[in-house]
Amino acid sequence: MQANATTTPKIRHSIQASTQSVTQLANELGVSEDTIRRWKRRDGVADGSHTPHRLPTTLTLAQEVVWSWRYAKRCCCRLMTCWW
């Protein structure tokens, strides 16, 4: 479970099984209505991944120069072998 989580798996399960309104549940459990809606919408009670779906791949200028040089070197070597 995440360290800052305001709900436990047991509470999440009770949220999903409850027939009370979102407002009533939020007031009763001391969490936001968004939290209640989010857990009602989910299939399970486990924490979701916090890893970004797309990791940033920005290169510094120095990294870009090195990458370009290595890439160009590989391409030139391939071309040179084709010509010979």
Give the predicted TM-score (pTM) of the model: 0.52
Range of the domain at 10: 1-46
Q: Which of 7-11, 37-41, 75-79 has the lowest mean pLDDT?
A: 75-79
Q: Is residue 54 part of a domain?
A: no
How do residues 33-62 score in pLDDT, each as one tens digit? 999 999 999 888 887 777 777 767 788 888
Place of tokens 């939020």: 26
Q: How far apart are CA 55 and CA 37, in angstroms?
A: 28
Residue 73 lies in a domain: no
What is 63-80 written as a DSSP string? HHHHHHHHHHHHHHHHHH
Write down the pLDDT at residue 83. 46
13 within domain boundaries: yes
Q: How confident is the model at residue 65 (pLDDT cuts 50, 70, 90)?
A: confident
Tell me if 55 is assigned to some domain: no
The alpha helices in 1-60, defined as continuous H runs, are: 9-17, 22-29, 33-41
Tokens standing for residue 48: 């979701």
Domain count, the chain: 1
pLDDT band of 9, cuts 50, 70, 90: confident
In a domain, 5, yes or no: yes
